Amino acid sequence: MTVLLQDYALPLSRSDLFIEAAYVGGKWATDTDRMEVTNPATGELIGTVPNFGAKQTSLAVDAATAAQKPWAALTAGYRGAVLREWARLVLEHARDLATIMTAEQGKPIAEARGEVVYAASFLEWFAEEARRIDGEVIQPHASDRRLLVRKEPVGVVAAITPWNFPLAMITRKAGPALAAGCTIVIKPSELTPFSALALAKLGEEAGIPAGVLNVVTGDAAQIGDVLTGDPRIRKFTFTGSTSIGKMLAARCMDTVKRVSLELGGNAPFIVFDDADIDAAVDGAIAAKFRNSGQTCVCTNRFIVQEGIYDEFANRLSERVGKLVVGPGLDGRSDQGPLIDQRAVARVSAHVEDAVGRGATLMTGGTTVCGPGTFFSPTVLRDVPADALLCREETFGPVAGLLKFRDEAEAIAMANDTRSGLASYLFTRDLDRSIRMTEALEYGMVGLNTGVISTEVAPFGGIKESGLGREGSRHGIDDYVELKLVCTAIKTTP
Ligand code: ADP
């Protein structure tokens, strides 16, 4: 492992994309009560944003409510054109957006640029889908009835988003919401608000009318109370931890909101003896170490067949040992810092727990000195199934390996969790691949690949990993209501 210690100042071509104000009703709110945002690579202050409570959040809901019907009354083609322009502006300013993202989130600048492109892809996709939100004409149940099903926007949407993908987790919600004719109030993570605010600025420039898109920053609990409790909000969409998601979803039931949840995973990565080991190691690096292991689809457990186990462990450990750890703004870094000290403490605890239960450390396993919250990329072999690493989402750069004998054991180990988001499978046997993909209790299966996310395919989990799907043609479903118009007609003049 190489560790880089330098960091650089925030170089932006358009400094007005760095905004220390919330965005409500088309206006930039600079309240005096502020909260600080720091750079996880250096521990330094980046800037401050307004610390909104319930009152200011309600004003954002007022604005979104007032704007919703006029926005929905525009043609789908018009709404799509605005979204397309927004996507274009996001791509045009990719470099600045990536710089802001890396500064507040920590990920390597190349990954941040990749996320900007990914974020824009949802805006473009839903710009296209806007004109295809068609209803249905159904064969009637009686000769004097006509049945028409309209798809109407659900209304005002509230979105709470996490820090690990500060742009894409917003566009995959705002894209379909705006395409369908909904308006939205977004609460980004308090750790990464500047990406969301820059995105809103570009939305404003793209022609999104005042009140259609609002970004509130501040106290999560107070803002959350309004976003889950206000009866004017008809849909709540959340990406984040399972515990907070469950709690907020329960609150939404008082006002019977539509709820979408994208929660934690516990992804298995299964490697059979017949796998292409080069592809499996590449897939393992992609599925485990992207964003320093801080994604909900990151592998949490490597489940490897006994015949290939030693070779896979050695090859993976060798690759992981070569990863370069350093500030994300330094183009040489493969691994940025973890988001905060709490994350470092959790990852350290998971490693200690595994070693305490008999696992062997092959590489890494330590915190890295310096001001930032870095943790060395780690591989552990012979991790027992009851280790914290296997039971809880580690959300860090630690690969824990477990051994299995046969297919039945692999399935039992993989499905032994209440989560069901992503899973990965490496095998070259056709029959086995079909049996296994059918047996895995997950919303997504990567077969011979560690990368599964794209705007064109449905993303989401089963079991306690969530409700609903984001992206793809299904991603719009959570933002529309079906309205039946049942008409009685006289069949003779
Ligand atoms: P993580 O543990 O990965 O940070 P969280 O679930 O805590 O995930 O955070 C995801 C989002 O949920 C963030 O925007 C965060 O501010 C928000 N959040 C956390 N706690 C609450 C709460 N009590 N009410 C509303 N939002 C919350």
pLDDT tens, position by position, for the chain (493 residues)? 555 544 445 789 999 999 999 999 999 999 889 999 999 999 999 999 999 999 999 999 999 999 999 999 999 999 999 999 999 999 999 999 999 999 999 999 999 999 999 999 999 999 999 999 999 999 999 999 999 999 999 999 999 999 999 999 999 999 999 999 999 999 999 999 999 999 999 999 999 999 999 999 999 999 999 999 999 999 999 999 999 999 999 999 999 999 999 999 999 999 999 999 999 999 999 999 999 999 999 999 999 999 999 999 999 999 999 999 999 999 999 999 999 999 999 999 999 999 999 999 999 999 887 789 999 999 999 999 999 999 999 999 999 999 999 999 999 999 999 999 999 999 999 999 999 999 999 999 999 999 999 999 999 999 999 999 999 999 999 999 999 999 999 999 9
Q: Are 86 and 208 in contact (CB under 8 A)?
A: yes
Q: Are 39 and 104 in contact (CB under 8 A)?
A: yes
Give pTM, 2 decimals. Answer: 0.97
The one catalytic residue among 85, 104, 115, 262: 262
Residue 104 bears catalytic tag: no
Query: What letter represents residue 345's amino acid?
Result: A
The DSSP line for 475-493 is: GGGGGEEEEEEEEE--S--
The set of protein residues with a Cβ atom below 6 angstroms from ligand 1 is: 160-162, 187, 189-190, 220-221, 224, 240-241, 244, 248
Q: Which atom of ligand 1 is nearest to the CA of 241?
A: 6
The one catalytic residue among 111, 204, 252, 296: 296
Report in angstroms the alpha-carbon separations of 443 from 10, 220, 280, 300, 438. Answer: 39, 29, 21, 16, 11
Structure tokens at 175: 């894209």
Residue 369 bears catalytic tag: no
Q: Which atom of ligand 1 is nearest to the CA of 339?
A: 4
Structure tokens at 102: 């890396």
Q: Which atom of ligand 1 is nearest to the CA of 187?
A: 14
> Candidates 238, 243, 244, 394: which one to mutate for ligand 1, based on the most atoms within 8 Å of Cβ?
244
3-state helix, strand, coil in the chain (%, to 5): 40, 25, 35
Nearest to 260 by CA among 101, 89, 475: 475
Residue 458: CB atoms within 10 Å: 15
Distance 190 CA to ligand 1 centre (A): 9
Q: At how many degrees (to 10) do helices 220-229 and 242-252 cross?
A: 40
